[in-house]
């Protein structure tokens, strides 16, 4: 699986302490803890978040509608 991810031009992003720590500062627009962690990662790593979830639009991160 890792080979197909890399072959597609994607990179694995590990969860690090800073990502977890950032979750506590997020506004509670979204209740799903995993989505909140992904939002924190996108925020810290300056990544675009791809989603169909309209609740994530409440966060100030770059979004791409899926």
Q: Does residue 55 sit within a domain?
A: yes
pLDDT at res. 18: 98
Structurally, the chain folds into a number of domains equal to: 1
CA 59 to CA 28: how far, in whole Å? 10
Q: Does residue 32 sit within a domain?
A: yes
Q: Note the pTM of the prediction, 2 decimals.
A: 0.84
CA 60 to CA 66: how far, in whole Å? 17
Domain that holds residue 33: 15-65
CB atoms within 10 A of CB 40: 22
Q: Does residue 35 sit within a domain?
A: yes
pLDDT at res. 2: 61
Q: Does residue 9 sit within a domain?
A: no
Q: Does residue 40 sit within a domain?
A: yes
Is 58 in contact with 27 (CB distance < 8 Å)?
A: yes
pLDDT at res. 10: 83
Q: What is the mean pLDDT of each run of 10 residues along the chain (66 residues)?
A: 75 94 95 96 96 94 93
CB atoms within 10 A of CB 44: 14
């Amino acid at each position: 699986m890792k080979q197909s991810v890399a072959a597609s031009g994607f990179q694995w992003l590990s969860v690090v302490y800073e990502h977890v720590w950032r979750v506590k500062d997020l506004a509670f627009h979204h209740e799903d803890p995993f989505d909140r962690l992904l939002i924190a990662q996108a925020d810290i790593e300056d990544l675009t978040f791809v989603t169909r979830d309209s609740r994530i639009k409440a966060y100030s991160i770059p979004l791409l509608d899926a």
